């Protein structure tokens, strides 16, 4: 039987109660902040983390802890997604563009983590500042938490991924603290938890999707119209209101749009309608995970990748669907701006079917961005 879909939800992570759980030792799934790297070898460096469009460093978007049962080499396994901060890089659907995805895995017995699961309680003492180094010693950029091979020319201690983040940290305070530590003291000024380059941080909580009515996915265009019509029926309206943002989502589509949707019985409408229904069932979902099982749900019939558009892994194996990022994530990222914004309909991640690779590498995987078609936008 194909595995069911699991949904990811964003939960507030900040504060002394929760942030500790987002550190590497707890194998988190999370949005924003700095990456909680899994393996310490083979991290993607500054060149690998550059935006494919503007060449500037990508920011950490999210990571999913997704071990593979029955695979001792993937006892721990995490997928990392990075995204450009520049709104102009988000024009158009298609492969990669402003995104980068990496996969890393470790066996249960490894050099970095104990074999037993981490404790459920917070560690004693105040929450530590973001790590400036991996436990093995490699320096991380003070701004983005990615490998930092470049260091401040004055103090020779503060590490950066490149000139952009060195300049940003200088403006933000390193100018004053640089060289303030006496010779022999190897410490650098504590790394501020947040900065304007990082996306806001949330924990991702995973839950199985509730099963639906059996023939929900076989609505024919005739039923489609009914489905739209009934959303105006007072009883269902009540239900929608009771579910909070599901109601808002549908209500904020103006009547004209609803009419247009009902009249045009096209494939396009059907696909978007299906998407809306899946979203309405769990309006806060930011992730849909189902490795190798049920495929992604699309926001549009346009710009869906064909098999030939998804390149095989370097090992020669096909890539299969693993998870998709939903547009609801945008509501948590504080990326709205008056002009152009960071935006997507959905982002679909495909990974090596063989799950190749060893413990000492971060392998790049494939991501596809699909935009809404004209007139079909899920309001936030």
Q: How far is the CB of 109 from Zn ion (least distance, A)?
A: 23
The CA-based diameter of the chain, rounded to the nearest angstrom, is 77
Residue 320 phi/psi, 5-degree rounding, is -120, 160
Residues 33-72 contacting Zn ion, CB under 5 A: 51, 53-54
Which CB, 101 or 152, lies closer to Zn ion?
152
Residues 218-277 contacting Zn ion, CB under 5 A: none
From residue 166, alpha-carbon distances to 53, 56, 178, 183, 291 in Å are 22, 13, 12, 22, 38
Asked if residue 165 binds Zn ion (CB under 5 A), the reply is yes
Give the torsion through C-alpha atoms of 275, 281, 287, 291, to 10 deg: -80
For the chain, how far is it from start to end, CA to CA, in angstroms? 35
Residues in contact with Zn ion, counted by CB under 5 A, come to a total of: 22
Structure tokens of 342?
């960071």
Asked if residue 359 binds Zn ion (CB under 5 A), the reply is no
CA distance 172 to 168: 6
Asked if residue 155 binds Zn ion (CB under 5 A), the reply is yes
Which CB, 13 or 152, lies closer to Zn ion?
152
Contact map string, positions 65 to 104, toward Zn ion, x by CB under 5 A: -------------------x-x--x--------x------
CA 250 to chain centroid: 25
Asked if residue 204 binds Zn ion (CB under 5 A), the reply is no
Q: Which stretch binds Zn ion (CB under 5 A): 18-26, 156-164, 210-218, 325-333?
A: 156-164
Q: How far is the CB of 152 from Zn ion (least distance, A)?
A: 3
Asked if residue 313 binds Zn ion (CB under 5 A), the reply is yes
Asked if residue 25 binds Zn ion (CB under 5 A), the reply is no
From residue 135, alpha-carbon distances to 10, 39, 263 in Å are 28, 11, 60
Of 349, 337, 379, 363, the closest CA to residue 90 belongs to 337
Asked if residue 158 binds Zn ion (CB under 5 A), the reply is yes
CA distance 215 to 253: 26
Q: How far is the CB of 330 from Zn ion (least distance, A)?
A: 17
Q: Which stretch binds Zn ion (CB under 5 A): 164-172, 252-260, 301-309, 370-378?
A: 164-172
Handedness of CA 349, 355, 359, 364 (dihedral sign): negative
**Which of 91, 223, 315, 379 contacts Zn ion by CB under 5 A?**
315
Residue 120 CB-density burial (10 A; 0-12 exposed, 13-18 middle, 19+ buried): exposed
Which CB, 26 or 99, lies closer to Zn ion?
99
Point out which residues bind Zn ion (CB under 5 A).
Answer: 51, 53-54, 84, 86, 89, 98, 141, 143-144, 152, 154-155, 158, 161, 165, 178, 313, 315, 317, 352, 356
């Amino acid at each position: 039987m194909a595995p069911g879909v699991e949904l990811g939800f964003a939960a507030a992570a900040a504060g002394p109660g929760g942030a500790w759980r987002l550190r590497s030792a707890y194998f988190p799934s999370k949005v924003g902040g700095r990456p909680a790297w899994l393996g310490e070898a083979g991290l993607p460096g500054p060149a690998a983390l550059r935006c494919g469009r503007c060449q500037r460093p990508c920011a950490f978007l999210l990571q999913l802890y997704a071990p593979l049962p029955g695979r001792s080499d993937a006892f721990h396994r995490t997928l990392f997604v990075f995204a450009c901060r520049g709104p102009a890089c988000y024009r158009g659907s298609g492969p990669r563009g402003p995104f980068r995805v990496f996969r890393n895995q470790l066996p249960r017995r490894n050099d970095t983590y104990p074999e037993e699961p981490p404790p459920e309680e917070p560690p004693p003492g105040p929450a530590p500042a973001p790590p400036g180094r991996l436990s093995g010693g490699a320096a991380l950029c003070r701004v983005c938490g990615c490998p930092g091979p470049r260091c401040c020319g004055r103090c020779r201690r503060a590490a950066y991924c490149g000139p952009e983040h060195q300049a940003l940290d200088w403006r933000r305070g390193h100018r004053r603290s640089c060289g303030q530590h006496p010779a022999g003291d190897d410490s650098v000024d504590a790394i501020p938890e947040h900065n304007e380059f990082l996306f806001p941080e949330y924990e991702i909580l995973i839950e199985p999707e509730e099963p639906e009515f059996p023939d929900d996915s076989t609505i024919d265009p005739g039923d489609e119209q009914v489905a739209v019509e009934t959303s105006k029926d007072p009883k269902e309206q009540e239900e929608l209101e009771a579910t909070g943002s599901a109601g808002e989502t549908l209500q904020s589509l103006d009547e004209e749009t609803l009419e247009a949707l009902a009249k045009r019985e096209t494939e396009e409408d059907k696909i978007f309608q299906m998407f809306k229904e899946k979203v309405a069932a769990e309006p806060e979902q930011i992730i849909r995970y189902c490795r190798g099982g049920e495929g992604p749900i699309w926001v549009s019939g346009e710009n869906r990748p064909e098999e030939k558009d998804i390149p095989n892994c370097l090992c020669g194996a096909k890539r299969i669907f693993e998870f998709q990022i939903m547009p609801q994530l945008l509501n948590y990222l504080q990326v709205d701006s008056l002009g152009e914004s960071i935006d997507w309909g959905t982002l679909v991640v495909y990974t090596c079917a063989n799950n190749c690779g060893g413990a000492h590498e971060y392998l790049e995987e494939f991501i596809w961005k699909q935009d809404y078609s004209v007139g079909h936008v899920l309001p936030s």
